[in-house]
Structure 1
């Protein structure tokens, strides 16, 4: 595994290194020892699989507040997505900045999204599938969301938004009262 920093501190890309021969391919998706430099004792009590049927659909921008703020390790296992993280950490020099990266079933990249970040993605292909590994279990009373089309974030989605859930569409727009998440 090779760690690649992004412009947002602590949001990392992890390049996996497949081993291939005539029998097929072997790929390590997670290694606590190799990822200890970004998070010692990294554990995932919840693993989810999402399938987004229609190209152009957007999911997000989701996060959880403390005391159950969560980090996520995300990999595209089918198709292509434009994956986005937004820094929501109180006092961060990159507060409310976003960074996007294309994850595909073939490019060997995973995104590590730390606590205090919102996450979302746009399907760049039909039937895009993401494997999510979470450091905390989902908690309705601590979940939060931002509108993917919030003008204050100004996320440049690569495609016109084809579909979005009512929950994501009705998330509040950011105003000056939002000062960030205290971790």
Structure 2
């Protein structure tokens, strides 16, 4: 695996290193020892998937505040998505800054999302499935979010959403 630090502290692009032969390819997608050796310890305790039948589906921007804050490793296991994170840590030098990368089943890329950073994505093609590896386990009733089009972040989405939940569309302006 190759770990590439983005311009937001703790947000890391994780690229698999597939081994290919006549049968196809095999790639390790997560190994606690490799993550720890790279300075990004992660031992997921929960794995979740979101199925997104329509292109243009927007989910997010979500986060879990303390004391239930999560670290997530996110990847597309089918389809393609524009994956976005926003730094919500008030003391961070990159507070309110965002970064994005394309994740796809083909590129085997993942994004490591630390505590204090909101996450969302826009599907770029139909039938995009997203796998989440999370630590600690999600605690219902403690989730929070910021609006995808909040002017405080000025995210350059590749297209407007075609499908979005009422909750995600109605988050208030970010106060920070």
Identify the TM-score tier after normalising by the shorter chain. over 0.9
Residue 161 of structure 1 corresponds to 161
Q: Are 1:10 and 1:113, in contact at CA under 8 Å, matched by a contact in 2?
A: yes
Shift of 1:141: 3.3
Residue 121 of structure 1 corresponds to 121
Shift of 1:89: 1.0
Deviations, residues 135-177 of structure 1 (Å, cap 9, x unaligned): 12222332111110111111111012111101101112113xx
Residue 38 of structure 1 corresponds to 39
1:27 to 2:9 alignment: no
RMSD: 1.1
Deviations, residues 109-146 of structure 1 (Å, cap 9, x unaligned): 11000111000000000111111001122223321111
Shift of 1:108: 2.4
Shift of 1:28: 0.5
**In 2, Cα distance between the equivalents of 1:38 and 1:126?**
35
Secondary structure of 2:33 counterpart? coil
Q: Are 1:10 and 1:38, in contact at CA under 8 Å, matched by a contact in 2?
A: no
Shift of 1:93: 0.1
Residue 136 of structure 1 corresponds to 136
**In 2, Cα distance between the equivalents of 1:134 and 1:172?**
26
1:49 to 2:49 alignment: yes
Secondary structure of 2:136 counterpart? coil
Extract unaligned runs of 5+ from structure 2. none
**In 2, Cα distance between the equivalents of 1:4 and 1:108?**
14
**In 1, Cα distance between the equivalents of 2:106 and 2:141?**
36
Shift of 1:5: 1.1
Extract unaligned runs of 5+ from structure 1. 179-183
**In 1, Cα distance between the equivalents of 2:65 and 2:130?**
22
Kindly tell me the number of residue pairs found equivalent between the two proteins.
175
Secondary structure of 1:35 counterpart? helix
**In 1, Cα distance between the equivalents of 2:160 and 2:63?**
23
Secondary structure of 1:94 counterpart? coil
1:14 to 2:14 alignment: yes
Secondary structure of 1:100 counterpart? strand
Shift of 1:99: 0.3
